[in-house]
Amino acid sequence: MKSLVAEVVECLLAELEGFMPSLASRGATVCNARPAGERVPTLVQEHFVAASALARQERPAVNGVLDALEALVPQLAWHKRPSDGSDKGFDDGHFNAIIAGNAGLVSLGPVLMGVSVMAPGVTYPTHRHPPDECYIALCPGQWWREGQGWWAPGIGNLVHNPGNQLHAMRSGSAPHLSLWVLTGKGAAGFASGS
């Protein structure tokens, strides 16, 4: 039986796929696809496949979400979050891509949707931003939130961080894979890495 979160995300991605041709028919184009000739980063190729296989094995309910993401991986413009250089493991071990929203494949108004991939043993630094953020955990990693500490939500479950609340995530012994959505104040103009 599929979790409610998996069903909602699967539906959203299916709707996005169906919506993109209608945008093209109205003169809109894909905004920020991966530049021609630029390869998908090796880290993304390797760790997306490993994380996806683990999620499929442990929580088959997320297969539809993973199928949709797998189809998007080669089209996305992958980038790293700017850092101060103090954590080489993070600098070398992560990539993000925006699917919908500012700097994404397509703009869908005040919503920003993206995906994060991290190598095993990487911690995404503690940060905050005005928009609310919801993650779909597609890995057995851990999340941290101010006032709550570290916890493992489990594959296919939802993590919600209210706007301006400090939060972080880490991968553990398996790669990290998560789908995230930012909504509310500032989401439309937010760029990943802000």
Instruction: Judge whether 193 lies within some domain.
Output: no
Q: For the segment 148-159, what is each residue's pLDDT rounded down to a tens digit?
A: 999 999 999 999
Gap between the Cα atoms of 191 and 194, Å rounded: 6
Instruction: Judge whether 9 lies within some domain.
Output: yes
Gap between the Cα atoms of 144 and 150, Å rounded: 4
Residue 95 is part of which domain span? 4-183
Q: For the segment 18-45, what is each residue's pLDDT rounded down to a tens digit?
A: 545 544 444 444 555 656 667 899 999 9
Gap between the Cα atoms of 41 and 27, Å rounded: 31
Q: Please state the length of the chain.
A: 194
Q: How many other CB atoms sit within 10 Å of the CB of residue 64?
A: 17
Tokens, residue 118: 């991290």
Q: Give pLDDT, residue 81.
A: 87
- Would you say 156 and 5 are in contact if contact means Cβ atoms under 8 Å apart? yes
Gap between the Cα atoms of 96 and 71, Å rounded: 16
Instruction: Judge whether 179 lies within some domain.
Output: yes
- Would you say 180 and 116 are in contact if contact means Cβ atoms under 8 Å apart? yes
CB-count exposure of residue 21 (10 Å: 0-12, 13-18, 19+): exposed
Q: Give pLDDT, residue 167.
A: 97
Q: Give pLDDT, residue 94.
A: 97
Instruction: Judge whether 188 lies within some domain.
Output: no
Instruction: Judge whether 192 lies within some domain.
Output: no
Q: Give pLDDT, residue 29.
A: 43
Helix or strand holding residue 67 (H, E): helix 63-72
Instruction: Judge whether 73 lies within some domain.
Output: yes
Instruction: Judge whether 87 lies within some domain.
Output: yes
Q: What is the CATH number of the domain that holds 103?
A: 2.60.120.10
Instruction: Judge whether 161 lies within some domain.
Output: yes
Q: Give pLDDT, residue 85.
A: 83
Is the four-CA dihedral 45, 139, 145, 72 of positive or negative sign? positive
Gap between the Cα atoms of 170 and 150, Å rounded: 9
List the chain residues with pLDDT less than 50: 5, 19, 22-29, 193-194
Q: How many domains does the chain have?
A: 1
Question: Tokens 């995404």 belong to which residue?
Answer: 124
- Would you say 63 and 71 are in contact if contact means Cβ atoms under 8 Å apart? no
- Would you say 159 and 122 are in contact if contact means Cβ atoms under 8 Å apart? no
